[in-house]
Structure 1
Amino acid sequence: MASETVLIQQSQPSSLDSGVFTWDIATDQFFADSAFARVFGLDPVDTMAGLPMERYLNRVHPEDKARVAKAVHDAVVSGHPCQQNYRVESGNDFYTEIMSFGRCFRNTDGTPAQYAGIVFPVVPVVQESVTLQDLCGQAHRAALKSGRLDIARTLRDVLEDLSDEPAPALRQHHPH
């Protein structure tokens, strides 16, 4: 069977996936809505009740953490808006790239009081054509990695339908 080609176009962040947050700097309580909690892999009840800022920073990818902390610090000190992209652990060792917009607000004596903003999950931009078989292969590997063998089996069957050759044997992925 001939392989179909699918064009992937740039995706804009979806407002349905956006999450809002506010950080009370004096009490170190960081409040966020359920969309934000989903992106960060946290319990929405906890995020709506407030958690220390450190709980959120612990969800930031280790390679991005220092840069994110410095950018937020600089925004608090300067009062300038902060916009950045970084990766957060959204659960099961999967990282989601997000775009974050935030700003620190000061009380009447100029002391930083609240830092508020919004985050959007970012879908990677693929500028070349990819085949349906490639996309199903990526989904198959992700299903194996996440332990979803039922989905992996279905995707393996789809891959066999798209290919003249049998799909790879089904085995569970064990991260190192």
Structure 2
Amino acid sequence: MGVMLEFFQECVFDKDMPDDLLLLLDSWTSWKDIVAIDSVKPASTSLKTVTIPPGCTGKIQPLDVGVFGQFKKIIKAINAYAQRNYPNFHVAVRDNILKVISLVFWQMSHPSLKEWVKEAWFLPGYLNSHPLPYDTPFDLLFPMDVAGHLNLIPSKWNIAFCVCASLEGVFWRISLE
């Protein structure tokens, strides 16, 4: 229980969080101890907790509804590219897994994806208004070439296969060697 309370103290009840919080929890056993959660809640914080019933996270948990699919799709594209073009890169090595996940996380955190993130909250019904038109992270990072194909195969000019969202329009190559 100590790690869970540490998580709430450092991540949920951070000094930068608002004083009025809605905490949406899945039905994992450790999240059910509301007394423990309240014990680390700052006195100035108003907290309402809602527990997602078992078996429903895929329908109403925003990360499951709108984020993880794109996350997995991007990781698969990077791993497929690595396996095809860099035989010495082993996708199942812990350090390589962490590098790819970290890269994808930071790219998906880019502010240009704000409307896409809203969709993850709109689909299960937490937002009333539909987000503005948006690009998905996959579309942003892997634009189509002029022929309408994904640029996942390196050309003879060694052009990068992915766009860096943080550098808007700057192409980069992941070093897999």
TM-score by length of 2: 0.23
User: Which of the pair is proportionally richer in helix?
Assistant: 2
TM-score by length of 1: 0.23
Where relative contact order (Cα < 8 A, 6+ residues apart) is larger, the structure is 1
User: Which of the pair is proportionally richer in strand?
Assistant: 1
